[in-house]
Structure 1
């Protein structure tokens, strides 16, 4: 379901009713005639829908985390806010950029339209920028020949399934964040689907090595062995970008989750 399109249709419909009520029905009321109830009722929603549409399209948009691919940074059930303008102002519905602002940086947590099905929104961390050579070999991340810093940060307990993963603090650019890996999970990429620029990647029993095409980004989940990401389905085109996630505004299970994150 394309909620942006539905909201746009509601905006147009209510706007038409508002125009009818304001410019046509108001004249009838001045001579004692009443306008149809559905015109007055529909027109009353126009200002509200307009504000919601503008905020959601150009300022911030709420999302809910549906999976554990970004554990430990984001948990299932986190409600997050996404900055819609930091990567450029885009026309709603068609998602076409009209004003350049900033480019994604390594370490950003980004929401984007899944290349395999643009009706789906995914969230991952930006790992590779256009032109980068990204290698994930033996569960170690290397970018342009430089190994990314990793420090042990103790075990991570999955409370829902009562088992532990190894936790590390990793640094991407200026961003330090936690990742988790499972000792028993294989190093190779177990699921690979056909994707554009597949020839840019080499798969081995130890992992994957990819060169990021221009205008694309390489995304990975912080739950490295529990994330289906660019290692399996390829690169994210610039036009698929939705925005930068920056704040957890609610979690029904744990109110302490509320706040900003890296």
Structure 2
């Protein structure tokens, strides 16, 4: 070995960089958390909205069912809608039209009534002409009540046309019982030449009168109050 003393050099190890998380990573994490919270809030809001909608629909359905039941119960005792069958009430009401019937209205002369046939159970509309304890008859196209003439304005045009053709719109007629019994009513169709009414089946019993026809409701263009 040479006389020179060899100096040992010790190399310093390289310094490792410290594990530092960059700011942009923290920022991204915050944004991701915010986005997740937003999505969760949005989903929760949708669920609440769906729950509210279901509740509203349920309450609406329950209300409609309750209303339907109430209307049905009321209709049993107070009113009904009926489709007219036949042509006995032409020209006032014709076949296929719908009418509103008030079951509580008072029965007065010339009111339209809905009555039920006790045998067939079918309902029909006719006009109330004679009341209990009245004497009714027709002579020369005129109605007489207790021997006094009573004007029937609702068939006036038909009577005038019949007069022009030298015929009668309502043929001379006297009921089999000159005085209408208690609890009975005499009814006629406005279509006098062809209507089927008390001239065919006598007076109707009070218990078979369903109610008073107050309005034609359908077809809508023919809406009319009687």
Give the TM-score taking structure 1 as reference length: 0.53
- Rounded to whole Å, the distance in 1 between the matches of 2:104 and 2:192 is 28
SS at match of 1:243: strand
User: Relative to structure 1, is the Cα distance of residues 248 and 219 closer, same or farther in structure 2, using a 3 angstrom cutoff?
Assistant: same
Q: Which residue of 2 aligns with 1:240?
A: 208
CA contact (8 A) 2:170 2:192 kept: no
User: Relative to structure 1, is the Cα distance of residues 134 and 226 closer, same or farther in structure 2, using a 3 angstrom cutoff?
Assistant: same
CA contact (8 A) 1:109 1:246 kept: yes
User: Relative to structure 1, is the Cα distance of residues 149 and 85 closer, same or farther in structure 2, using a 3 angstrom cutoff?
Assistant: closer
Q: How far off is 1:186 after superposition?
A: 8.5
- Rounded to whole Å, the distance in 2 between the matches of 1:239 and 1:219 is 14
Q: How far off is 1:58 after superposition?
A: 2.1
Structure 2 portions without partners, runs of 5+: 1-61
Alignment of 1:53-202 (within 5 A): 53-86=72-105, 102=106, 104-115=107-118, 117=119, 119-149=121-151, 153-154=156-157, 166=161, 183=167, 187=171, 201-202=175-176
Q: Which of the pair has more CA radius of gyration?
A: 2
User: Relative to structure 1, is the Cα distance of residues 167 and 153 closer, same or farther in structure 2, using a 3 angstrom cutoff?
Assistant: farther
Q: How far off is 1:149 after superposition?
A: 2.1
Q: Which residue of 2 aligns with 1:161?
A: none
SS at match of 1:57: helix
User: Relative to structure 1, is the Cα distance of residues 84 and 130 closer, same or farther in structure 2, using a 3 angstrom cutoff?
Assistant: same
Structure 1 portions without partners, runs of 5+: 1-42, 87-101, 157-164, 169-180, 190-199, 203-208
Question: How many pairs does the alignment contain?
Answer: 163
Higher strand share: 1
User: Relative to structure 1, is the Cα distance of residues 62 and 186 closer, same or farther in structure 2, using a 3 angstrom cutoff?
Assistant: closer
Q: Show CA shifts across 1:120-166 (max 9, x none).
A: 1121111000011110234322111011225785469xxxxxxxx93
User: Relative to structure 1, is the Cα distance of residues 256 and 166 closer, same or farther in structure 2, using a 3 angstrom cutoff?
Assistant: farther
SS at match of 1:211: coil
SS at match of 1:166: helix
- Rounded to whole Å, the distance in 1 between the matches of 2:72 and 2:211 is 16
